[in-house]
Structure 1
Amino acid sequence: MNGLRRHGARIAITFLPVLFALLHAADVWRWPLLAHLDQFIYDARLRATMPGTLDPRIVIVDIDEASLEQFGQWPWSRDKLARLTNELMGRQQAAVLGFDVLFAEPDASSGLPVLRQLAAGPWRNDPKFGAEIERLAPSLDHDASFAKALAGRRVVLGYYLTQTGEPRAKGVLPKPVLPLEALPAARDLATRWNGFGANMAQLAAAAPEAGFFNVVLDPNEDGVVRSVPLIARYEGGAAQSGYYESLALAVHRVLKGGAPSLVPVLAPPGPRAGAPVLEALVLGSTRSSLRIPVDASGGMLVPFRGRGGPFGGSFRYVSAARLLDGSLAAGELQGKAVLIGATAPGLQDLRATPVDAVFPGVEVHANIISGLLDRRLFAVPDYAAGYECATLLLAGLLLAFGLTLLSVPRAVLLAVFTAVGLAALNTWLYLAAGLVLPLAAALAMVPLAFALNMSWGYFVEARASRNLATLFGTYVPPPLVDEMRADPRRYSMHAQSKELTVLFCDMRGFTRMSEQMAPAELQAFLNAFFSRLARIISEHRGTVDKYMGDCVMAFWGAPVDTADHATLTVEAAIHMAAVVQEINQSHRASGRPEISVGIGINTGLMSVGDMGSAERRSYTVVGDAVNLASRLEGLSGYYGVEIVASAATRDASPCYLWQELDLVRVKGKARAVHIFTPLSRARNAAQGKDEALERWGLTLAAYRAQEWRRAQELLAPLLAADPKKVLYRLYAERLASLSLQPENPDWDGATRFESK
């Protein structure tokens, strides 16, 4: 919890991209770049997952350049179209025929209208001429021929809808598939039109089934056809108003055996919408009914099979010329759904799609029919925005906290795994359920959040950490600096009062050694000696304060709080003394003089921080407790021990076995203090040593009570057991002297030292 509070600013800055992405997902502040990126992802995934196989059920009769070269420029006379229709529905036995072509004007290519005008005008007095014209009329009326070819067959004509300021209507519309009342609440959400260009009445009567072939470009203005409306709302005269179906939907319905019921499915209104939203169209009412997901405008995402055109491999293309000249074998198209369209560039029925920049418009309808037959349908669900917001929020929280608390390598892995996880989930939903869900905002959010987090960590937090390392690196062991870097704000150079433990270590015998060693050799020895001591201090979490000639000063408990600072100090002192013994063994072997150390330790309240003059400052400790430790270091030689510690240090290190040395009053202090030396850790102490310490305690008690004879009696066995121990010989001399003096009622047992 402290870590989270410590990194609050970093977490907040990491969450900024998440907030912007959420605004985009909630449609509060749309970023066109993200919308285009979503289009790019959709297009790339669509191309990568297309079947890429031929659908043999659908054939495209192509009005290609070869057909135009052989049978003349478009539009062809209706007698050619009648021949084409008869060939397809008769000799070839196609299951259904759809025209991606409009027949809005009468065919005047035969000259019949002109002849009739002549018969009614200049030649009206010649009855034979008029009669001959009427005799030839059936063969010259190409519209009638075409209508006759259409009549009674499973043919679907095409038309287009328009939206203009002044509605224009031309031709005859088919019957609507749904009345206006079918979508009463969602009427403003479906594609709306107020005009049309449809087929002439004679042909519409012969082939009543028809569908519009309008396509709608992507609303993000990249000019690419990704979806096609399946139904459209036409608001014309009362008799014609309603919802109309697309050419592809009409062909599919006829192919499936007639006109199954079409039922709209409405989703509940969103948080900002006041009416239900169209989400699907259901064909049929049985268990085999087909549910077609659509968007609010009635549009369906085109399930492209592969590349477009005669060589794309998705559908078979047959040149119209082969059907008109009879070169295609009879029955070769039996049972196929046939669409008549144009790929010739001059006829301008080419579209830009995610699959190809130049894609035949007729093949767009073929892909829809194929997708409906295979039920390979894609949908942008009505909860897409909610899904995007949820994934952004969850991933954003994971990144904001994870990137902040993890190391850099693990943060990189987290960012990569998050991005890959979001993409994998999105792709799985696309492949498994056909759901097209937004991904761009999430993919953009992850690297932005990572970049902001790492930048903040490097330029703000790392700078504070580097400053901290610069300030304390020369005083504090590297492990402690690493701990301080975890929360730099907790540490500063400002002075503060804390209970710490301070240690002074002075090397004895330095003068004698300097007399026997060359300066360079002496320098090398001192460097090696103090390096070993500094390493011990560092290993025990101590902070080196300063070096003073042949003395080193260190303290524990700052700048990093250490609860057992006194114990660590005592342990470090014992190790220092052991190092001196190792050095002496080496010196005895090489003939060099031996050295010793005196160590003084005290625990107490002292000031720690950056102190000194304007020219020279250092991170140090000052105070009466520090001065006492310095005085105790000077007493070590007097008592014949290497380590002298105060009672405060003894009390703070109960894990050690201590021997009291004396009650002393050092220079500069009026109050006497008890001093001790550590013998070993309590759990390693021998039973005999415990008995010796108990006897020593009784000796000190008798000494301070001025019971000189009893004290001598208690001390005698200790001295006999260890005659070389300076402490025992010191007290034996004291007792011998004091026993000759009268009892002093003002004596408190303290030894006064007037020198440092």
Structure 2
Amino acid sequence: MKKNLIRIALGLLLALVFFGHAAKFYQISLLNTLDAFVYDARLRLTAQGGVDERIVILDIDEKSLAEVGRWPWSRDTMAALVNKLFDSYEITLLGFDVVFAEPDRSSGLASLESMADGVLKNDTAFQSALKALRGELDFDKRFADALSKRPVVLGYYFTNLDQANRNGALPAPVLQPEDFKGRTVDFTSWSGFGGNLPEFQGKAISAGHFNPIVDFDGTSRRVPMLVEHEGKYYESLSLAMVRVLLGNPRIVPGYPEGETSSGPEWLDLPAEQGILRIPVDEYGASLIPYRGLQGSFTYLPAADALTGRLKQEQLKGKIVLLGTTAPGLMDLRVTPVGSTYPGVEIHANLVAGMLDSSIKQKPSYVLGADVLLLSLCTISLAFLLPILSPLRATVLASGILLAVACLNFLLWSSGLVMPLAAVLSAILTLYALNMSWGYFVETRSKRQFAELFGQYVPPELVDEMARDPERYSMDGKNAELTVLFSDVRGFTSISEGLDPKELTQLMNAYLGAMTRVVQKNRGTLDKYIGDAIMAFWGAPVADADHARHAVTTALEMQAELRTLDEPFKQRGWPALHIGIGINSGTMTVGDMGSKVRKSYTVMGDAVNLGSRLEGITKQYGVGIIVSDSTKALVKDVIYRELDRVRVKGKDEPVGIFEPLGVAGQIDKAAQDELKLWNQALRLYRQQDWDQAELQLYNLSRMCPDRYLYQVYAKRIAYCRANPPGESWDGVTTFETK
């Protein structure tokens, strides 16, 4: 633990930095940017999609401007449009995402009024004619009359640019300070406004502001449902439209149970159909529930409605929002779903979201939950990552990342928004810190181990050893291991038939291929002895399957050798044949040698026996011989018992076997042959020479190239001539190496 104290301290320090951001003691702009990115990505991925048929956007588009004229249109045109929408198309509700702040000047009435008050003040005929025309030329009155007694919601805006900027009239406020029951509210406050002409505001059933909240990155993600102006509270255009649809219910601020000081977390609209609840944040704003990209609502040209070119079913019973997508009218906004998104569609999304109760909420307890989650994750990682291996640290960090992401997504799916960037960044930063710290330490350790063991063991084992270096050393010790010896048969004649360059190339190709097989099976390459290879398993990395890996290596070496036949033939080189001997037992392993040169190797009787077994492979005409001790450790391989032998230097006989392959992978012909051979060997050891010879004859006919059967046929002939006697144990003694 002591060696990890610095890493733990740095981890806790990093955790404290992220804690301060999550607790809002200060803000890290990068994390805010990441949170915005994550929010936008989740919104796009989970957007409902499809077109909402309830809401239609009547678009003052380029086509309409070209046909009707530049904006603003005359009030008699607007009056005609309103009348057309309600009388001919029978719409349900009309909301204006435009403001009518100035009197109409297109009729010329203002000029005539100016003349009537000036140079023609005493002209009775002019005054009389003007009186008769005033009703026809007062386009503002026509528009006001068209608004009267109809479900029309006007739009207006607030501003702080100029406190003296108070044009037009505001609607009646929807809430007073006393409606919040003495609680502190922190709604967006505005000093100025741009409202509609009083005569329009007086005739319209309602009005709402269309101010969005533009975040630090210029993106519109929220709209204030309520804003404050001179101590009174006004609703947004979308909220006003929904209230008109529901019969103008009063707005009831809602608070969490037991909370007595904070502002409302939702607004209730108690209508006949039930209570409609609208989530808001501490600023009285709601997250915009974007359905998808631009075009999630039907757009129809305003000119087509004005001229009657639309079919009634396109608008009948619809909620209609009048707005513009024309670039010149400057109502395009940056949103999570598009960088040039019409402002009018923002209101459409909010109306649909309120009606569907699909607006997501970010309640006040999210701050505490975020701080708690971040603290749990970072503190646990700060203590755990330094003491875990890189693999386990990666699994732990990945698991926590996945769990946090899944939890966040589940909350999102249930309508709750929780910050994600701080906790994810904290986890990744802590992980990166520990991996970077460990990298430099482990790199040094790996370099040391590579110098010590790299020439003996494969790179993956060096990596494994470097993760826990205290477990490994070059000091000598006794251990249960398996050793393998291989040797090229007839190498002397092969070397005599090749020039030195070709011989070098051949040996490099052969030794390279065999070494790859050894290392692939976690073997330790001891040494090359001319054309011979010595390898062992079980050290320096402990290997419970050392015998299995050695036998597998031998089988694969023989198979790999055959793949070299064709390329060797193409180069005019002879095909190689090798003998392999394998033995398992207690061996001494360690760094042995002199000051001049040392080698990590194995020694002992068990090693010598492995070498002897390789030497007698040619006596039986087989490619691999394993001892009975190795066979006992690898039970899922099919073996052909060859003999019981007493090799030079050992008094105790040893059973020797030829591994044929993994059980289940031996074909029927080989199994039948093996069955007959076992019978022949049993008869041979019983000194039933005739029956043994008959079985060998049958086996030789099945496999005429099997030298083993010739060996035993010769032994039977010898035993007939020289009967071994009843004390014969069937052991073959080899006097030479």
Q: Tell me which interval the TM-score lies in, with the shorter structure as reference length.
A: 0.5 to 0.7
- Does the 8 Å contact 2:289/2:353 carry over to 1? yes
> Residue 58 of structure 1: which of 50, 55, 69 is its match?
55
How far 1:137 moved relative to its partner?
A: 1.0
Asked whether the equivalents of residues 189 and 278 of structure 1 are also in contact (C-alpha less than 8 Å), the reply is no
The change in CA–CA distance for 1:163 and 1:186 in structure 2 (over 3 A counts) is: farther
1:279 is matched by which residue type in structure 2? E
Q: Which of these residues, 222, 240, 244, is aligned with residue 250 of structure 1? A: 240
Structure 2 CA distance for aligned equivalents of residues 279 and 93 of structure 1: 37
Q: 1:439, CA displacement in angstroms?
A: 1.3
- Equivalences for residues 217-232 of structure 1 within 5 A: 217-218=214-215, 220=216, 222-232=217-227
Deviation at 1:352, TM superposition (A): 1.1
CA offset at residue 10 of structure 1? 3.8
1:161/1:531 CA distance change after superposition, 3 Å:
closer
What secondary structure, in the 3-state scheme, does the structure 2 residue paired with 1:306 have?
coil
Shift of 1:448: 2.4
Q: 1:97 to 1:577 in 2, by over 3 A?
A: closer
> Residue in 2 aligned with 1:728?
none
3-state secondary structure, aligned to 1:56 = strand
1:15 touches 1:449 (CA, 8 Å); kept in 2? Answer: no
Q: Percent identical across equivalent pairs?
A: 44
Q: In the alignment, which residue of structure 2 is the partner of 1:294? A: 280
Question: What secondary structure, in the 3-state scheme, does the structure 1 residue paired with 2:335 have?
Answer: coil
State how far apart, in whole Å, the 1-side matches of 2:273 and 2:318 are: 25
Correspondence 1:131-280 to 2 at 5 A = 131-164=128-161, 166-183=163-180, 186-218=183-215, 220=216, 222-235=217-230, 241-256=231-246, 258-266=247-255, 275-280=261-266
**Greater Cα shift, 444-453 or 55-64:** 444-453
Q: Could you tell me which amino acid in structure 2 is paired with residue 250 of structure 1?
A: A
Q: Which secondary structure state, in structure 2, belongs to the residue aligned with residue 264 of structure 1?
A: strand
Q: How far, CA to CA, are the matches of 1:229 and 1:288 in structure 2?
A: 23
Partner of 1:606: none
Give the TM-score taking structure 1 as reference length. 0.61
| Bigger Rg over Cα | 1
Secondary structure of the residue aligned to 1:196 is strand
Opposite residue 394 of structure 2, the aligned amino acid is V
- Consecutive unaligned residues in structure 1, runs of 5 or more: 236-240, 494-499, 503-522, 555-571, 591-756
1:435 matches 2:425:
no
- Superposed displacement of residue 70, structure 1: 1.3
Shift of 1:326: 1.7
Letter in structure 1 aligned against 2:274: S
Classify 1:167/1:185 alpha carbon distance in 2 versus 1 (closer, same or farther; 3 Å): farther
CA deviation after TM superposition for structure 1 residue 412, in Å: 2.9
Q: Which residue is 2:354 aligned to?
A: 372
- Displacement of 1:306 in angstroms is 1.7
3-state SS, counterpart of residue 233 of structure 2: strand
Report if the CA contact (8 A) 1:62-1:341 is conserved: yes
2:62 partner amino acid = E
Relative distance call for 1:482 and 1:316 in structure 2 (3 A) is: closer
Q: Secondary structure at the match of 2:51?
A: coil
**Distance apart, 1:94 and its partner CA:** 0.9
Does residue 435 of structure 2 align to residue 454 of structure 1?
yes
Q: Residue 303 of structure 1 aligns to a residue in which SS? A: coil
1:357-436 superposed matches below 5 A: 357-431=339-413, 433-436=414-417
Contact 1:223 1:352 in 2 (8 A): yes
User: Is the 1:13–1:453 contact (alpha carbons within 8 Å) kept by the matching residues of 2?
Assistant: no
Per-residue deviation, residues 131-154 of structure 1 (Å, max 9, x unmatched): 221111111100111111111111
RMSD across aligned C-alpha pairs, in angstroms? 4.6
Match of 1:80 in 2: 77
Q: Any idea what the Cα deviations from partners look like across 1:427-478, whole Å, max 9, x if unmatched? A: 12112x122211112332333222222222232256357658978999xxx9
Compared CA separation, residues 8 and 540, structure 1 to 2 (3 A):
farther
Which segments of 5 or more consecutive residues in structure 2 lack a partner in the other structure? Answer: 479-526, 543-584, 620-737
Distance 2:280 2:528 in 1: 86
Task: Provide the secondary structure at the position in 2 that maps to 1:435.
Answer: coil
Distance 1:535 1:65 in 2: 81
- 1:130 paired with 2:120, answer no
Cα distance in 2, alignment partners of residues 21 and 91 from structure 1: 60
Deviation at 1:166, TM superposition (A): 3.4
Structure 1 residue 346 displacement after superposition: 1.2
From 44, 62, 67, the counterpart of 2:64? 67
**1-side partners of 2:298 and 2:403: how far apart?**
40
Equivalents in 1 of 2:463, 2:106: separation in Å?
93
Matches of 2:430 and 2:240, distance apart in 1: 49
SS of corresponding position for 2:437? helix
Taking structure 1 as reference, are residues 535 and 324 closer, same or farther at Cα in structure 2, changes over 3 Å only? closer
Following TM superposition, by how much is the alpha carbon of 1:267 offset from its aligned partner in structure 2, in angstroms? 5.1
1:35 is matched with: 32
Contact 2:153 2:204 in 1 (8 A): yes
**CA displacement, residues 680-710 of structure 1 (integer Å, 9 cap, x when unaligned):** xxxxxxxxxxxxxxxxxxxxxxxxxxxxxxx
What secondary structure, in the 3-state scheme, does the structure 1 residue paired with 2:227 have? strand
- Cα deviation for residue 579 of structure 1 reads 6.9
Partner residue in 1 for 2:726: none
Residues 12 and 325 of structure 1, relative CA distance in 2, 3 Å threshold: same
- Correspondence 1:102-141 to 2 at 5 A: 102-141=99-138
Q: Tell me the CA shift for residue 208 of structure 1.
A: 4.0
